[in-house]
Amino acid sequence: MTTPIPWLSTLLRNSGIDELPQVLNIIKGQMSVVGPRPHLPEYNAYYQSVVGQEEMDKRHDAHPGLTGLAQIRGYRGDTPNSASIHNRINSDIEYINRQSFLLDLEIITISFWMLIRAAVRRIFN
């Protein structure tokens, strides 16, 4: 029997270390640094019922990313209602339609500063 260690899981999640395996997926070419964040496959049917087949097909045609436009806009984590699903998927579709090196650079820069800001808050609060 294994006993969960809550402080360790909290540390891993809050530090972002739990995202490190995804770097291997980027190196393998299965993910990109910027793109729609992957969600659990069991959510596909529900998301599709909210936003439609065409939008989900566009989203699935792109490589998933470590960060994305939806994340820097705050549309991450749980999607408790259809508005939050629409916001996330619409941001992903907007990214796919506007994808460029400069947009990627902007998203990476903002993501980096958001990570730094969150780390500083955790240290000083």
Those residues whose C-beta lies under 8 Å from the C-beta of residue 24, and which sit 6 or more positions away, are none
Residues 59-89 pLDDT 10s: 888 889 999 999 999 988 777 788 888 899 8
Domain map (residue ranges) of the chain: 23-124
30-50 core/surface letters (b: 16 or more CB in 10 A; e: else): ebbbbbbbebeeeeeeebbeb
What is the reported pLDDT for 104? 97
More confident call, 122 vs 11 = 122
Instruction: Please give the biggest Cα pair distance in the chain.
Output: 50
Model-level pTM greater than 0.85? no
Residue 1 has pLDDT above 60, yes or no: no
Could you tell me the pLDDT band of residue 16, with boundaries at 50, 70 and 90? low
Q: What is the mean pLDDT of residues 105-118?
A: 92
